Chain A
């Protein structure tokens, strides 16, 4: 009964979403407050209905209701409860429902929260969000119904793919989708602005918090996915340039660019056309990612079982939305007035530099991801584009961007002083040179260059990210005064500092891993020992263990360093009888920010292949992303977002030095 209600709610949501797409828009055209007023209730109703439908599916999973085909295919009564719940989105139909749930959530939040916005703009935004919801609800109802019955109902389900039976599935997709789908509201804002012909600094200020929220969730989602792949797949890698990873990374690159260009638009009313274009591009890339993952055109760890009709359907949605939005853009962009002028060497100039490099890097990732598909379609040649391509194109484009990153915040708006900014970076540069020298000396001859240059860059970023904070507080006369200034700095300044600091940490982690990682592979029997990076691992014993829906063959190691026992590690070969599928459970021990990582390979009699890694500073890779996201949270609490007032305008003309200009803020 609940299943039918869930299905019914989904169809009803489609009906309401159509109303949400049409009526407020007509209202905005006719300036009819009653029709526009329908935006809020219809957006709320769409969300409530989709949420009900999602809850109904979740209940079916919790109860192991095997009369639903979706539950049969992806669940099992013996599966632990947490995986029964996360299993709801561990498959195509359920994850699509989660996608639409988040879409409807953002539509509702925009309708309810954006009270200070002009009613007609708000009505347009909600209506555009309604179009997207309509398209994807139609997609679910027509091609991917999660409430399909299977009668007669089997007694038992065929279990969830063991790789997905992990806490990672509970966290990674929801975070990622909030980010991915969150950019839909930014897209809706952009389209609404084009329809309304209203595009000013106020628009940028409304859009900015939504961009920030989406960006920080996408950052966390990608980082979480990366860590999950790292510990679950047992390859010991953290990023594979897999097409589906790229599919989430491209909106991240474009979204990061958008975050920065919206800042220029908000403060200086410049880069308007570009900002709107980026907003359209970012969500288009999200849609492209959805298509790539679900159409079966790619070979990937993430690809869902493919179905051509679904691919064609999403491609149609993609074509309509991207084509429509860009046509609207082409028609309307000419009418948008250019904003304030600025010198190349200025805060705006630095942000343009940021945008140029981020979008170019994004384009190279796009080319690498789509090239094999295009080539095969055109010539039939089969190729694959992997890490060698991406390392060669992406890294050289990131280096200038990263080197310039700490300078940006030191430049004043309109006209900055490059020499003064460089002077401010002397401390960071000294630290960078020292760190690079030490690192190069520690590294072997083979990796010395990577190690020293990479470490120098990371140190430069880490120290340099706080240069703006230092600059803005250095004129205080006393320690107390300085502390007060630190506390009173705009939260957005702190947010940017932590965002950049996080990037520095991630870079340091990546450099440390690529220059100092060690790895050995060894056949081992009980009683054997192996040594890696000063740690000694003794293979003590092997045993069988029973889990709720699997059995483990566990190898038990004790780890000693300098004769002192420091840890016990228990990697396992896990076997899931329902799916007849083995998985490797890596054992990971953290020492500070570094990790020992042990996986088991084939078992031959009493010998097992053991792969050991020592991964120095590896945790910084993900910790950096978390710190950067926290920076996003801090920025969100900035005064101007909290009370919806414009930031105090810079009334005084910019002074000769950035120090004065900043102090006047």
Chain B
């Protein structure tokens, strides 16, 4: 009797643990299949590797002269890996370090029209730091040399920056 009780208890314990694990495993597999975000480069997008309607995370440089502002926080710009470009639309406040010619990561839905409707736009948070997606995207085009320091790369475009930054209302 005692032995059976012990066995039953152990079964309940193992059942609970197994149940939780099974639930977690199911959730993880479903979520990894469905809720992850692909991070293609602009060239991969241009070549049609990504289906419309997919959630993507796009890294690259903000194309010079591409930023257009609309009303009430609407903005459009293009992300480029220096070979191909992808149009991006966004509504909201762009990050402080968002600038033309600088690294940016935009995340959102890849629309059938071939543009990215972003719900998140990230820029560098520090001038010596470049998002990994941007580095990867530029590397793929041979525009990034290992050892070339990020600060140096920013240096090539920085002179234009202060003008945009000068605070004014």
Contact = CB atoms under 8 A, between A and B. Distances in A.
Contacts of B13: 344, 349, 352
Interface residues of A, number: 67
Contacts of B87: none
B97 to A, nearest CB: 7
Contact size range, B = 35 or more
B153 interface: no
A360 B21 contact: yes
Interface in A506-535: 521-523
Given A396-B27, A603-B167, A341 B93 contact: no
Q: Which of B57, B131, B168 has the most CB of A within 10 A?
A: B168
Interface string B93-133: 11011000000010100000000000000000111110111
B35 A388 contact: yes
A382 B165 contact: no
Given A383-B37, A544-B167, A601-B94, A367 B28 contact: yes
Given A363-B24, A609-B73, A383 B169 contact: no
B93 A611 contact: yes
A550 to B, nearest CB: 9
B27 A523 contact: no
B169 A397 contact: no
A388 B38 CA distance: 13
A343 interface: yes
Interface string B18-50: 001101100110111001111110000000000
Contacts of A113: none
A447 interface: no
Nearest to A609: B73
Contacts of B168: 544, 553, 603
A69 interface: no
A523 B169 CA distance: 12
A361 B17 CA distance: 12
A392 B24 contact: no
A575 to B, nearest CB: 5
Interface in A305-360: 305, 341-344, 349, 352-353, 356-357, 360
Given A384-B39, A523-B72, A575-B166, A397 B24 contact: yes
B53 interface: no
Interface stretch (A144-152, A214-222, A247-255, A576-584): A576-584
A507 to B, nearest CB: 20
Contacts of A438: none
B153 to A, nearest CB: 14
A299 B94 contact: no
Interface string A375-410: 000000111111011001100110000000000000
Nearest to A579: B127
B23 A397 contact: yes
Interface in A182-235: 234
Contacts of B136: 382
Interface string B142-169: 0000000000000000100110011111
Given A384-B37, A388-B36, A575-B167, 17 more contacts: A234-B93, A298-B132, A299-B105, A303-B129, A344-B13, A344-B16, A352-B16, A368-B31, A383-B39, A385-B35, A397-B24, A397-B27, A521-B72, A522-B73, A580-B162, A581-B97, A603-B169
17 contacts: A301-B125, A341-B6, A356-B17, A356-B20, A383-B39, A384-B39, A388-B31, A393-B27, A521-B92, A522-B72, A551-B167, A553-B168, A575-B165, A575-B167, A582-B97, A606-B169, A609-B73
Interface of A: 161, 163, 234, 298-299, 301, 303, 305, 341-344, 349, 352-353, 356-357, 360-361, 363-364, 367-368, 371-372, 381-386, 388-389, 392-393, 396-397, 521-523, 542-544, 551-555, 573-575, 579-584, 599-604, 606, 608-609, 611
Interface of B: 6, 9, 12-13, 16-17, 20-21, 23-24, 27-28, 30-32, 35-40, 55, 57, 69, 71-73, 75, 91-94, 96-97, 105, 107, 125-129, 131-133, 136, 158, 161-162, 165-169
